[in-house]
Amino acid sequence: MHEIAKKSLPGIPVLLLVLLGLLGSAALFLAVIGGATPGMVVASILLGLALLVSLAGFYTLEPNQAGVLSLFGRYAGTVKESGLRWNNPFYSAKKVSLRVRNFESGKLKVNELEGSPIEIAAVIVWQVVDSAEAVYNVDDYESYVHIQSEAALRAMASSYPYDQHDGDRIALRSHPQEVSEHLKVQISERLARAGVEVIEARISHLAYAPEIAQAMLQRQQAEAVVAARTRIVYGAVSMVEMALDELKKSGVVDLDEERRAAMVSNLLVVLCSDRAAQPVLNTGSLY
């Protein structure tokens, strides 16, 4: 079921007409009650009752609010004009907010792609775009949005690893933009039947579960140390190559293979050590 636009009458002019009609009906009743026929009395009474019943057709809508009208259980249309409005008094109107709303999910405990338990939460920004679907396709669209958003968050979190161990793989911690876009798509698919549009979905909390947080912290520290050492060794090898090439190019000293190996070893020790090197001065000959 999709939304159908419904026309409505402005409430203030109709209200004035109804009040004038009630006054006229009362005046007519008083005028004819003395010597009028019973038919005229009954007509004036029925007119007054009809005008009183018409008062049930008034309702008010705020800006960014829709009124979903139904007639004896059948959908009649949706009114979106704000202010005091009037329709058929036998219509029942259910008001639906069209404002942009947001909520933050609870901290969910799920297993990421590699099986490690993590805590994750998200902020969802959403808006009703089809009032008929929101009212008639689901029982409680607000509860539906919350439950389906958390279900989509669980599914998304289990499809990515927490950390990026390979260079090309998307991870929850290293690719927030891609992960948020995937989450938005999954939530939108689940909420499409409820007439809800997801404007934004982003991760608001991400952490390892408490029982493995310390172990994962040690793992991250070890990976950081290995990465730092790898970079240091790469830089040291490049510097040694540059030093040997400069010595050979300038002809300062001609080293045989044994001395070259010793020089390379010494330079690598100096460059890769995490402590200051202690120099040893050679006061004799080179050989």
pLDDT 10s digits, 43-96: 777 888 888 888 888 999 999 999 999 998 899 999 999 999 999 999 998 999
Buried-exposed string 59-96: b where 16+ CB fall within 10 A, e elsewhere: bebeeebbbbbbeeeebbbbbbeeebbbbeeebebeeb
pLDDT given at position 96: 93
- The residue segments making up the domain with residue 43 are 9-96
Domain boundary at 75, 96, 117, which?
Answer: 96
Give yes or no: residues 125 and 200 share one domain: yes
Q: What is the pLDDT of residue 21?
A: 82
* Confidence grade of residue 132 (pLDDT, cut at 50, 70, 90): very high
DSSP codes joined into one string, 220-236: HHHHHHHHHHHHHHHHH
152 shares a domain with 201 = yes
Backbone angles phi, psi at 258, to 5 degrees: -65, -45
**pLDDT at residue 167 in the model:** 63
Segment 219-243 shows an average pLDDT of 73
Among 96, 117, 132, give the residue marking a domain's end.
96
Domain count of the fold of the chain: 3
Whether 237 and 164 map to the same domain: the answer is: no
Which residue is it, tokens 């009649």? Answer: 76
Q: Is residue 277 part of a domain?
A: no
Residues in the chain: 287
Residues 89 and 17 in one domain: yes
pLDDT tens digits, 144-175? 999 999 999 999 999 988 887 666 788 888 88
Last residue of a domain, one of 59, 79, 96: 96
Q: Which of 45-59, 130-144, 219-233 has the lowest mean pLDDT?
A: 219-233
Domain membership of residue 286 (yes or no) is no
Residue 284 pLDDT level (bands cut at 50, 70, 90): low
Same domain, 112 and 175: yes
Taking 90 as the threshold, does the pLDDT of residue 129 lie above it?
yes
Question: Does 234 fall in a domain?
Answer: yes
Average model confidence (pLDDT) for the chain? 82
Tell me, yes or no, whether 161 and 194 share the same domain. Answer: yes
Q: Structure pTM?
A: 0.69
Q: Which backbone phi and psi does 100 adopt, to 5 degrees?
A: -75, 130
What is the reported pLDDT for 136? 92
Do 237 and 160 reside in the same domain of the chain? no
